[in-house]
Amino acid sequence: MFVRLVYESFRRQKRRKLLAGAAITLGVTVATAMIAVATDIGDKINRELRTIGANLVVSPEEDTLDVEIGGVNLKPPSDGAFLNEADLPKIKGTFWHNNITGFAPMLPVNVSIQQDGKTHDATLLGTYFTKRIVFGTDVFTTGVRSTHAWWRVSGAWPDDNSQDVLVGDRLAPRLGVKPEDSLSISGRQLRVSGILSTGGSEDDQIVAPLPLAQQILGKPGAVRRVYVSAITKPEDAFARRDPRTMSGPVYDRWYCSPYPQSIALQLTEAISHSHAEQIRQVAQNEGVLLTRIEGLIFLIALAALLASALAVSAAMATTAIFERRAEVGLMKALGAGRLAVASVFFAEAALLALMGGLVGFVAGGLLAHRIGEAIFNSQIAVSPVLLPVILTIAVLVTFAGSAAAIRGAVRLDPVFALRGEL
């Protein structure tokens, strides 16, 4: 009898049930898509943000020393502290090597430029442009073209093994040079392959392949600092804890989480006599941006579910109280208690929620896939593990929308209900 009551309800009230089911499906569709995007958005946004620059910097360990005795600062001079270029491939040997999207070493050198009978003092910055690096069996390409994607060149980029240079767009007019011209820099004739525009201090400098800067400085293999782009997890209270106070599983959890600090520690371990730290303005702004975007996504999902619950509430109120008052009155006149009457309506709501949840889950997966292609140019897949969660949400939303109507139905007086009164 119970099953027949539920079946007859769906058969005789197709339009009402269809409207309620459509409301559930739409709400679940949006919620599924937003949850899928939220769970996958961190890495994708981090990869997009990596195009705005590095978020970690590695410098010589001596630069972090600050020793003062008797008012005299004994900190070693920065000009004498260098990293070893041979250690740089080890960056890809860290635990989070897959999260490191690129790195670019920097070596500034003071040079003199002879041009049209005049001598100009300037800084020559040695770096990688698109350097091919080999570590074990892994081969990858890195340099400023991946870590400093906003750099623009009028002309051609130099080859990392060439004697070509880039001249900053503020320095070029003072020297009167353009692409394909030659410059005499510290006694070397070098070709200008392009004019560089960065909006930063490099516009007043000359940017050259790292080996050329090392030759001019007379220090083969020397690197002054390394900028690293890494996909990281936004800071939380656990990330800001001092790892020196941790032990055992707590330290392992911190070390094996892609926090900027834990990746910086691993970079310090990989490169001899180095100190790595996050570029705090970049890392903190990324964390704030990710938190706000995720908050907006969950707010959209919550709004969709709330709208769905309100639509279900309107549909169920009409169905339960107005159209089915005689049925409820008859059930109670035959001896059915409040629990028995409520169980019929809750069974209908649960069945409606499961059907709408399944359809919404499939539709939400397609919507998430479409969002991924349109915004991130990549796929966002909905994990099957999410299905029980979505169905549970659908049932809870439907019950929440139906609760008031069902409560009114079970309180109907059978005498007035059978007479058509409320």
The position carrying tokens 């996504």 is 297
DSSP 8-class letter at 273: T
**Alpha-carbon distance 22 to 164, whole Å?**
65
Per-residue model confidence (pLDDT) at position 67: 45
**Which residue type does 232 have?**
T
**Alpha-carbon distance 321 to 344, whole Å?**
14
DSSP 8-class letter at 157: P
pLDDT tens by residue, 69-84: 444 444 444 455 899 9
Q: Does residue 322 have a pLDDT over 90?
A: no
Helix axes 280-317, 14-49, angle to 10 degrees: 180
Query: What is the percent of the chain with per-residue pLDDT over 90, rounded to a whole number?
Result: 29
Of 401 and 277, the structure prediction assigns the larger pLDDT to 277
Inter-residue contact 225 to 183 (CB < 8 Å)? no
The position carrying tokens 């360990």 is 61
Q: Does residue 161 have a pLDDT over 70?
A: yes
User: 3-class SS at 100?
Assistant: strand
pLDDT tens by residue, 244-293: 888 888 888 898 888 888 999 999 999 988 999 888 655 555 566 667 77
Torsion of CA 201, 202, 204, 207, to 10 degrees: 150
Q: Does residue 5 have a pLDDT over 60?
A: no
Q: Which of 6-20, 295-309, 311-325 has the highest mean pLDDT?
A: 295-309
pLDDT band at 88 (very low <50, low <70, confident <90, very high): very high
Beta-carbon-side half-sphere exposure of residue 35 (alpha carbons within 13 Å): 22
**Alpha-carbon distance 253 to 238, whole Å?**
10
Of the candidates 274, 302, 368, which has an alpha carbon nearest to the alpha carbon of residue 84? Answer: 274
